[in-house]
Structure 1
Amino acid sequence: MTIKKFPKGFLWGAATSAPQTEGHSLQNGKSKTTWDYWYEKAPEKFNERQGPANTSNLYEMYTEDCKRMQEVGLNSYRTSISWARLLPDGQRVNQEAVTFYRDYFKKIKENGVAPIINLFHFDMPMWLMEKGGWEVRESVSAFAFYGKTAFELFGDLVTDWTTFNEPIVHVEMGYLYGYHYPAVTDFKKAVQVGYHTLLAHAAAVKEFRAVLPKGKIGIILNITPTYTRSASSADQKAGEASDLLNTKSFLDPAVHGKIPQALIDLLAKHQLTPQTQAEDAELLKNTVDFIGLNYYHPRRVQAPQNPTLPAQTPEDLYEPYDWPKKRINPYRGWEIYPEALYDVAMMMKNEYNNLPWFVSENGMGVADEERFMDEKGMIQDDYRIEFMIEHLNYLHKGIEDGSNCFGYHTWTFVDCWSWLNGYRNRYGFYRVDLEDHYKRSLKKSGLWFKQVSQNNGYDV
């Protein structure tokens, strides 16, 4: 037996978000988010009508959960602040929220865990959505004010921050594919939403530099490498469009401080150029200290067969390609392709100045995990352990080849609520029993992860 060792100080952790764990969704001074509003209007859209009201009840159980972090060997942990909880109307600070978050962050640290705190995880406050949300320029200054407020209130406890989790998701799901509120399909609106989100990120980074000059700030992106069907010029062109829209749109400005010219040209060609202001280019020069990259599955594309031009949807630029050799997680319908983590590592090394980065999410969602429960009540989730080992093997190879990766975070620590999917698929190191007061119980993967963290590596 030999051990694959990782760099000294490597972060072994887990990730989650406020709306997916806290509960108390409309209590303790918190105002509505788009999720609260949508569940109120259309509960039938949500798996088993599992809404955002209680989720995993962390608001009441965080003290015990912070101890559980130590029990599975976490040395770092990413979660988010709820904008609608901290600033219920966008201006007024909710003091109860301040008390809650300060105690939560203190208890994370007391258990030997470093908090990485994110500002936005798909949870748009309804007061801003009623004004147009990310479609309107006001969202940029509103988010910057929120960020400044959070940095001032919690900067003595938290040194590592991120602005957004997977910003491309609220663009795609809300304005292209209809899965998240407001569930519209409008490519031009989607581009404007993405542009304002990008400006909001840069504005928050600018505020961070003024408030916490000694801290570090990044952004969390779901980077799904694009693999083309073939080397044909048409397929390669489709792959380039996919990378521009899905990867370079946020990663290039975050690291290089500007939107790639090829993306500007592509949007102009298809009459999708967003409304801009002269000072925007200067604002985008506020770059990050590190990048978090979420990875679950690759993106495989081919040239579109019958595109509408100018493009009305991304599928007019590239179509999904069904690779016949794929392995699939049948519960999510996602391809399992751990090799991509090596490609991500090399991309960061070769194209993004070898900026420090970490795997900010990687995990396997499985339904009906009770099938794998032993006689003592522990879920024997060997499939999750195998999934992590496969991905860590390729990550380790990338690090050995010089990529500046400093951590690996799984999704997730405690089973959490997952938007329209509710609790259909479980990801956690701890099972949450929704029928028994949100009781937590450790899974086998948690024991394995503790050994990995303690050894800073694993047996091969």
Structure 2
Amino acid sequence: MKQFPKNFLWGAATSAPQSEGAALIDGKSATTWDKWFEMEPERFNSNQGPQVTSDVYHQYKDEVKRMKAINMNSYRTSISWARLLPDGKNLNEKAVKFYRDYFTELKENGVEPIINLFHFDMPWWLMERGGWEVREAVEAFAFYAKTAFEQFGDIVKKWSTFNEPMVHIECGYLGDAHYPRKNDFKLAVQVGYHTLMAHTRAVEEFRKLAIKNGEIGIILNVSPAYARSESKEDVEAKECADSLYIFSFLDPVALGKFPEKLVSLLKENNLLPQMEERDKQLIAENTVDFLGMNYYQPFRVKAPVQTHTPAIRPNDFFSGYDMPGKRMNEYRGWEIYPEALYDVAMMMKNKYHNIPWYVSENGMGVAEEERFADENGEIQDDYRIDFMKEHLEQLHKGIQDGSNCFGYHTWTFADCWSWLNGYRNRYGFYRVDIENDCKRTIKKSGHWYKKLIEKNGF
């Protein structure tokens, strides 16, 4: 029996844009996703846009009952900035009522809400002004964060500022999976810097309000880099990858300073962002109380194949390595490597002063799950159960070795809409029938998770 610590948080995670639906009703204004779908619906899987998603806006009370039914004691979702402050200034009272009711329902059913402020859903009014490319976004976000803390801080005690900030940077400014589909390394660095400063200012506003028993953190995606070999060139590639993709946010938010390796890389390649005089002091003074770590896959790297001087893309510092014999989730194209979760646990302990942290996302997306339905229509997702077991074994090992982990959240509770991929891959404990009023049906993994939580281990 692998037993987890007392009061361990067992739950799941989603976001407002991926689950709420009600995209443009009750005062909510458009986000980049709403407008992008309006402009180019053909880019979205099966023309599945953000209008309805999983309809939690209308079904949240039943959704919370289902959480209680499988013993979940915590849940992370986000607030829609465009719903709470449709124009960035004026409060939407219908949004306040919805979120207060939703969060209260969670609390009354023994499910602690962990509420995130930004999950890739930039309000369109701010995107038109440049979004994270402009410094204006930093103060706009700080005002939004302060408003959310004031409106819901009596209910919500655990807050996070951003989910996976590296994703909207990489996918929107080094690729085309997020709007605005630009490919500009220097601009990506500036976007990342403004995102970090928005986080920092939100933490500062949180500290000023001194919410009783309140804690604030950030949710980061970690794909630890593993070098192809012990050669100097491959090890250098690993160090560059970790500096860019992990330590770039982890060090400032947890340690209050930038990693020296990152600063050197950016300076040598004329990629340093524009900064303001007080920024370093603000970062040093506003570190987080806890961290959420989203882990799905490792990052295999080797020395770069081709380089430019100065660098014009991250691949000038490292190349991906296709390791022979690796296990894969073919639906996502992601390697399955649970051992990295132990390495993350040890990194938290040894590099980040054993800061409190939790696994804020871990899960397995699979397409066409109806193939695995039994005679009663229940999805027999043993592959998901096995995936969780293997990762929980590594997490348990990390906790036994002293890492200060306080919870484990899967992605996700009920199947949700996933950006350009729509409903192609399913992740939930509950299947969502998008053709039938988003009706929920529990999967085998939901029954397994219930027993796991009952025993606080497996």
TM-score range, shorter-chain basis?
over 0.9
Query: Number of residues paired by the alignment?
Result: 456
**Counterpart-to-counterpart distance in 2, 1:315 and 1:262:** 16
Amino acid at match of 1:242: A
Q: Does 1:260 align with 2:259?
A: yes
Contact 1:12 1:409 in 2 (8 A): yes
- Unaligned 5+ segments in structure 1 are none
**Counterpart-to-counterpart distance in 2, 1:67 and 1:123:** 27
Amino acid at match of 2:90: R
Partner residue in 2 for 1:101: 99
Partner residue in 2 for 1:417: 417
**Counterpart-to-counterpart distance in 1, 2:424 and 2:403:** 35
Amino acid at match of 1:379: I
Partner residue in 1 for 2:29: 31
Q: Deviations over 1:170-189 (max 9, x none)?
A: 00000001110000000000
- Deviation, 1:354, is 0.2
Partner residue in 2 for 1:443: 443
Seen in structure 2, the aligned counterparts of structure 1 residues 213 and 157 have a Cα distance that, compared at 3 Å, is closer
Match of 2:163 among 159, 165, 176: 165
Contact 2:153 2:211 in 1 (8 A): no
Q: Does 1:10 align with 2:8?
A: yes
Q: Deviations over 1:34-79 (max 9, x none)?
A: 0001000000000000000100011110010000001111100000
Partner residue in 2 for 1:149: 147
Partner residue in 2 for 1:378: 378
User: What is the alpha-carbon root mean square deviation over aligned residues?
Assistant: 0.6
Partner residue in 1 for 2:305: 305
- Deviation, 1:447, is 0.5
Amino acid at match of 2:133: E
Partner residue in 2 for 1:226: 225
Partner residue in 1 for 2:191: 193
- Deviation, 1:415, is 0.3
Contact 1:358 1:406 in 2 (8 A): yes
Partner residue in 2 for 1:333: 333
Contact 1:14 1:77 in 2 (8 A): yes
**Counterpart-to-counterpart distance in 2, 1:26 and 1:213:** 31
**Counterpart-to-counterpart distance in 2, 1:11 and 1:375:** 34
Matches within 5 A, 1:260-409: 260-285=259-284, 286-409=286-409
- Deviation, 1:212, is 3.3
Partner residue in 2 for 1:241: 240
- Unaligned 5+ segments in structure 2 are none
Q: Deviations over 1:219-270 (max 9, x none)?
A: 0000110001111111111111101100000000011011112211110111
- Deviation, 1:376, is 1.1
Match of 1:54 among 41, 52, 55: 52
Contact 1:155 1:212 in 2 (8 A): no
Amino acid at match of 2:456: N
Partner residue in 1 for 2:201: 203
- SS of 1:65's partner is helix
**Counterpart-to-counterpart distance in 2, 1:335 and 1:363:** 12
Contact 1:296 1:336 in 2 (8 A): yes
Partner residue in 2 for 1:66: 64
Amino acid at match of 1:176: L
**Counterpart-to-counterpart distance in 1, 2:215 and 2:350:** 22
**Counterpart-to-counterpart distance in 1, 2:79 and 2:93:** 14
Amino acid at match of 1:365: G
**Counterpart-to-counterpart distance in 2, 1:261 and 1:296:** 27
Amino acid at match of 1:243: D
- Deviation, 1:375, is 1.1
Contact 1:354 1:404 in 2 (8 A): yes
Contact 1:151 1:212 in 2 (8 A): no
- Deviation, 1:283, is 1.1
Q: Deviations over 1:121-151 (max 9, x none)?
A: 0000001000100000001100000000000
- SS of 1:162's partner is strand
**Counterpart-to-counterpart distance in 1, 2:297 and 2:259:** 25
Amino acid at match of 1:280: D
Amino acid at match of 1:36: D
Q: Deviations over 1:6-50 (max 9, x none)?
A: 000100000000000000101110000000010000000000000
- SS of 1:284's partner is helix
- SS of 2:162's partner is strand
- SS of 1:353's partner is coil
Amino acid at match of 1:434: I
For normalisation by structure 1, the TM-score amounts to 0.99
Amino acid at match of 1:10: F
Contact 1:134 1:197 in 2 (8 A): yes
- SS of 1:174's partner is helix
Contact 1:218 1:289 in 2 (8 A): yes
- SS of 1:305's partner is coil
Amino acid at match of 1:385: I
For normalisation by structure 2, the TM-score amounts to 0.99
**Counterpart-to-counterpart distance in 1, 2:53 and 2:7:** 33
Amino acid at match of 2:110: G
- SS of 2:310's partner is coil
